[in-house]
Amino acid sequence: MFETHLPDVPQRALTGDLPAESTVEELLQAAHARYAPLGEGEVADYIPALAEADPALFGLALTEVDGTQHLAGDTSAPFTIQSISKAFVLALVLEAIGHEEVHRIVGVNNTGLPFNSVIALELNAGSPMNPMVNAGAIATTALMPGADAEQRWQGVHEGLSRFAGRSLEIDERVLRSESASNHRNRGIASLLASYERLRGDAPEMVEVYTRQCSLLVTAEDLAVMGATLADGGLNPVTGEQVVSAEVCRDTLAVLAACGMYELSGEWQFEIGLPAKSGVSGGIVAVAPGKGALGVFSPPLDRAGNSVRGQRACAHLARTLGLNLFASTTHARKGARTDG
């Protein structure tokens, strides 16, 4: 799935701050130039409106926790957020009802099965297992505070807009297309309800979830949203405290374990960053305390992840020293003397 062999890309092990701004800018532009010609992958077509995306589009954005932004390529091209919304709705729900309730109702363990698996629900007595698969995401959306579906939707919409630092709009055409083809999600919601794992009316909760997936974002938006998680919940562009630092920690832990579905282990082994992808071609990858990458490129691999996006993330994790598991050898303060 991932590009694992980068013999000409030096590994930078960096446990402190990002390099100088000029270095970050140079490396970002180099990564964009390296992968822009890549012709692998196919645009998603199981949602008809997504099949019309331009496969040549490629945007790469990095927002640092101090608000500094670096942009390369088509970073202002709009696309629907799709499953990336799961990460930020999880953060909003954690903020609203707390760590223990989310853990109890939804769970935080990887299913080891595809994102839309019904078998995973049946094997686990109706537990969604984690908020990044569709069952868990629908259950999580249903946990948003509100007296009805419309109030829950308003909470989701306003919350995701606060993460982005601007009011996000729905792509109505994509919403109609998804609503006409989301039979599996409706079945998943009904199964959740049968196990008493869903708060609210099943069809209404699927509608709210479908709306959240249809919000339009850009690669630049994703970088800002991810950088908010990287900086303890403080939006680095607007200065607004969106969620608490504790919520960011919990959200990033779930992303590290489950954000790339059954291939999350491979992503961490190769790239080493909490991340979330979406079938429209977006990826957000977060380096806590440093910033976040927002990537957009529609052609996907067979697992549904942007081909250019994952290659660019792997490249920049290596060259910018973003990998959470990389470290350097430090000089000893003093040799131990015996005797």
Q: Which residues are catalytic?
A: 83, 86, 209, 261, 279
Ligand-binding annotation for 35, yes or no, is no
Ligand-binding annotation for 185, yes or no, is yes
Tokens representing 323 are 């990998």
| Residues 200, 170, 279, 326, Cα dihedral to 10° | -90
Residues 312, 251, 149: CA angle, nearest 5 degrees: 110
Tokens representing 1 are 């799935």
CA–CA dist 261, 133 (Å, integer): 7
Ligand-binding annotation for 130, yes or no, is no
Ligand-binding annotation for 261, yes or no, is yes
Strand order in 282-287's β-sheet? 69-73, 59-64, 291-296, 282-287, 275-277
Taking each helix axis as running N to C, give the angle between helix 85-97 and helix 202-213, from 0 to 180 degrees, rounded to the nearest 10.
120
Please report the sign of the dihedral spanned by the C-alpha atoms of residue 260, residue 243, residue 108, residue 131: negative
- Number of residues that this document lists for the chain: 339
CA–CA dist 84, 306 (Å, integer): 12
Ligand-binding annotation for 178, yes or no, is yes
Ligand-binding annotation for 235, yes or no, is no
Ligand-binding annotation for 124, yes or no, is no
Q: Pick out the residues of the known binding site for substrate.
A: 83, 134, 178, 185, 209, 261, 279
Q: Can you say which residues are annotated as belonging to the binding site? A: 83, 134, 178, 185, 209, 261, 279
